[in-house]
Chain A
């Protein structure tokens, strides 16, 4: 009859091999699926293709497309900063209440009492500013390399949408500390909304359309006729939910289209004038 217990020696060996050779375990194999062999190009390709985070990339790309001098890496850096902003922003949300009573105190609390709170706030703010800069540089690069040309016209349009959302994200965040700086910046900004043609009560043809300070576009943005608690709440919701979600959707489209348009546009061999119709 077989003994219904393992030989202790064998059991010990089994136990140690799962530590000395973790890649042989069922757990490891179930997570990573493919073998990662550094010398094998097929396994390297599989590493990219079978990973949900990396499958954004193809397995192989044009050898020149990886050159920094061509893309300046600004699209990728903008995306990375977006991720940094999501992360630091989510942490800030643990400490912040979008109410007139609490908001400003929460910032003080973050700066003076929360461990690394000041660093957290600084990183969120400066990453936001930096993202505006990198998005502008990305647009400049795409323009200089003519990468908006056929077949990428639509992706450029998507990019312009992303540019607008990046600026609006930064702008809605400006009000949230509820200090003089944000308050007056947003007051100046939203005062322009009341001059919107047709839907602002001081805009061209606005009064003729029946617009007043209590029903125009500015009122809709602020949830009132002045920048107050409703405006704070609305800015908060746009900043933390509305615009990030829309931007994330546009980014998915943007990256998808980069792939579908045949990868990035270059560096392509030069063309001559006489070769085009």
Chain B
């Protein structure tokens, strides 16, 4: 039985409306960008076959001036954009009120107590990681990884035009991270109910429902329960994971001739830094999520100071 009321309530919560907008916008713009990428890829193939052909990614005619006046050709677009955004904002603000709950009350816990939607992905990761990792280390790693991104991409190709063919690895890496981030937000917002329990869309949020799940650590699975042995086993498991995931990623990023050329142009420092971020964020986070959801594993590495 689908509980439509519950479903509607979740979707129309004022602070969730932006997420619906975000999903629609991302879907549209990814389509819009990839459509141009596909057209440009076709153009690239044509130029490869006929080097004399013009290489413009935009409509072009002989004799057109290379530049245009900012006033009016750019300013009128900016003005129009400002007008449309203002109108959109006005209509949005007239139709949907900003939420205001009861006054803050430390004695009465909100359930579920959710972070604002753009951080809800990190909150969702608290299920799978300790707070020091999900709330601090991972965001810092993401920001550093993003900042380093330009310095790790050794390919000079595809600068200033949409293309898929010439930049599969860069787009794939960013796309995977973006997808994890958005996916975690969707789960955290639309799936998690009271007590951060998993409710499928359409299920009623039952405040009395609790999930008692006995979790275990990865070394427990192979019968290791002694502290030192567990720590060692966890450490070995992580080393093996980095080695294995590293191999897999290496295979993924050197599949086509283009990718191999880019790989050869990448310095060792660039490549290992890329691998570190790719394994930790793009492979490690989903792997830990899978371990938790499929095998009820809480920690891989257990030490007296921190657990992963």
Instruction: Indicate whether A and B interact.
Output: yes
The residue that A149 contacts in the complex, of B85, B116, B119, B153, with Cβ under 8 A, is B153
Chain A residues contacting B85 (CB-CB under 8 Å) are: 77, 80-81, 84, 130
Chain B residues contacting A127 (CB-CB under 8 Å) are: 89
Residue of B nearest to A206 (CB): B132
Pairwise interchain contact B74-A61, C-beta atoms closer than 8 A: yes
**Shortest distance from the beta carbon of A254 to any chain B beta carbon, whole Å:** 14
Chain B residues contacting A61 (CB-CB under 8 Å) are: 67-68, 70, 74
Q: How distant is the Cα of A276 from the Cα of B265 in the complex, in angstroms? A: 10
Q: Check A210 for interface membership: any CB of B closer than 8 A.
A: no
Pairwise interchain contact A179-B100, C-beta atoms closer than 8 A: yes
**What secondary structure prevails in chain A residues at the interface with B?**
helix
- Indicate the member of A119, A157, A195, A202 with the most B CB atoms within 10 Å: A195
Known: A66-B74, A188-B115, A269-B56. A181 touches B101 (CB 8 A): yes
Q: Check A123 for interface membership: any CB of B closer than 8 A.
A: yes
Pairwise interchain contact A167-B159, C-beta atoms closer than 8 A: no
Pairwise interchain contact B89-A84, C-beta atoms closer than 8 A: yes
Known: A61-B70, A180-B104, A270-B47. A188 touches B25 (CB 8 A): no
Pairwise interchain contact B116-A179, C-beta atoms closer than 8 A: no
Pairwise interchain contact A67-B29, C-beta atoms closer than 8 A: no
Q: How distant is the Cα of A192 from the Cα of B47 in the complex, in angstroms? A: 53
Chain A residues contacting B98 (CB-CB under 8 Å) are: 121-122, 125-126
Q: Check B21 for interface membership: any CB of A closer than 8 A.
A: yes
Residue of B nearest to A192 (CB): B135
Pairwise interchain contact B147-A80, C-beta atoms closer than 8 A: no
Q: How distant is the Cα of A197 from the Cα of B126 in the complex, in angstroms? A: 16
Chain A residues contacting B62 (CB-CB under 8 Å) are: none
Pairwise interchain contact B143-A195, C-beta atoms closer than 8 A: no
Q: Check A189 for interface membership: any CB of B closer than 8 A.
A: yes
Interface residues of B in 58-81 (CB under 8 A from A): 58, 64-75, 77-78, 81
The residue that B162 contacts in the complex, of A47, A63, A123, A144, with Cβ under 8 A, is A144
**Shortest distance from the beta carbon of A218 to any chain B beta carbon, whole Å:** 11
Interface residues of A in 192-224 (CB under 8 A from B): 192-197, 200, 202-205, 208
Q: Check B223 for interface membership: any CB of A closer than 8 A.
A: no
Binary interface encoding of chain B residues 72-112 relative to chain A, with 1 for a CB under 8 A from any of its CBs, else 0: 11110110011001101110111011111111111011100
Pairwise interchain contact A192-B100, C-beta atoms closer than 8 A: no
Pairwise interchain contact A107-B134, C-beta atoms closer than 8 A: no
Chain B residues contacting A54 (CB-CB under 8 Å) are: 70-71, 75
Q: Check B271 for interface membership: any CB of A closer than 8 A.
A: no
Chain B residues contacting A236 (CB-CB under 8 Å) are: none
Known: A184-B109, A192-B134, A197-B136. A63 touches B159 (CB 8 A): no
Pairwise interchain contact B116-A171, C-beta atoms closer than 8 A: yes
Q: How distant is the Cα of A19 from the Cα of B85 in the complex, in angstroms? A: 36
Pairwise interchain contact B136-A192, C-beta atoms closer than 8 A: yes
The stretch among A8-16, A24-32, A135-143, A244-252 that forms the contact with chain B is: A135-143
**Shortest distance from the beta carbon of B10 to any chain A beta carbon, whole Å:** 15
- Indicate the member of A41, A133, A149, A197 with the most B CB atoms within 10 Å: A149
Known: A76-B81, A267-B57. A126 touches B96 (CB 8 A): yes
Q: How large is the interface on A (under 10, 10 to 19, 20 to 34, 35 or more residues)?
A: 35 or more
Pairwise interchain contact A189-B119, C-beta atoms closer than 8 A: yes
Pairwise interchain contact B159-A180, C-beta atoms closer than 8 A: no
Pairwise interchain contact A58-B29, C-beta atoms closer than 8 A: no
Q: How distant is the Cα of A227 from the Cα of B110 in the complex, in angstroms? A: 14
Q: Check A266 for interface membership: any CB of B closer than 8 A.
A: yes
Chain B residues contacting A62 (CB-CB under 8 Å) are: 66-68
The residue that A119 contacts in the complex, of B56, B93, B132, with Cβ under 8 A, is B93
Residue of B nearest to A81 (CB): B85
- Indicate the member of B77, B90, B149, B159 with the most A CB atoms within 10 Å: B159
The stretch among B35-43, B237-245, B282-290 that forms the contact with chain A is: B35-43
The stretch among B163-171, B214-222, B228-236 that forms the contact with chain A is: B163-171
Chain B residues contacting A270 (CB-CB under 8 Å) are: 40, 43-44, 47, 55, 57, 161, 163
The residue that A268 contacts in the complex, of B30, B44, B159, with Cβ under 8 A, is B159
Q: Check B178 for interface membership: any CB of A closer than 8 A.
A: yes
Pairwise interchain contact B156-A60, C-beta atoms closer than 8 A: no
**Hey, which bits of chain A sit against chain B, CB under 8 A?**
41, 44-45, 47-48, 54, 57-70, 72-73, 76-77, 80-81, 84, 104, 107-108, 111, 118-119, 121-123, 125-127, 129-130, 132-133, 136-137, 140-141, 143-150, 152-153, 156-157, 160, 163-164, 167, 170-171, 174, 177-185, 187-189, 191-197, 200, 202-205, 208, 226-227, 265-274, 276-277
A-B contact pairs, 9 of them (CB 8 A): A72-B32, A73-B81, A132-B18, A140-B33, A180-B110, A187-B113, A192-B126, A267-B56, A276-B157
A-B complex: 10 closest residue pairs judged by Cβ atoms: A192-B135, A268-B160, A266-B160, A204-B306, A183-B104, A122-B93, A195-B131, A184-B113, A269-B55, A153-B150
Known interface pairs A70-B58, A130-B21, A197-B136; 7 further A-B residue pairs with C-beta atoms within 8 A, sorted by A's residue number: A41-B69, A67-B58, A140-B29, A146-B159, A180-B102, A192-B135, A271-B158
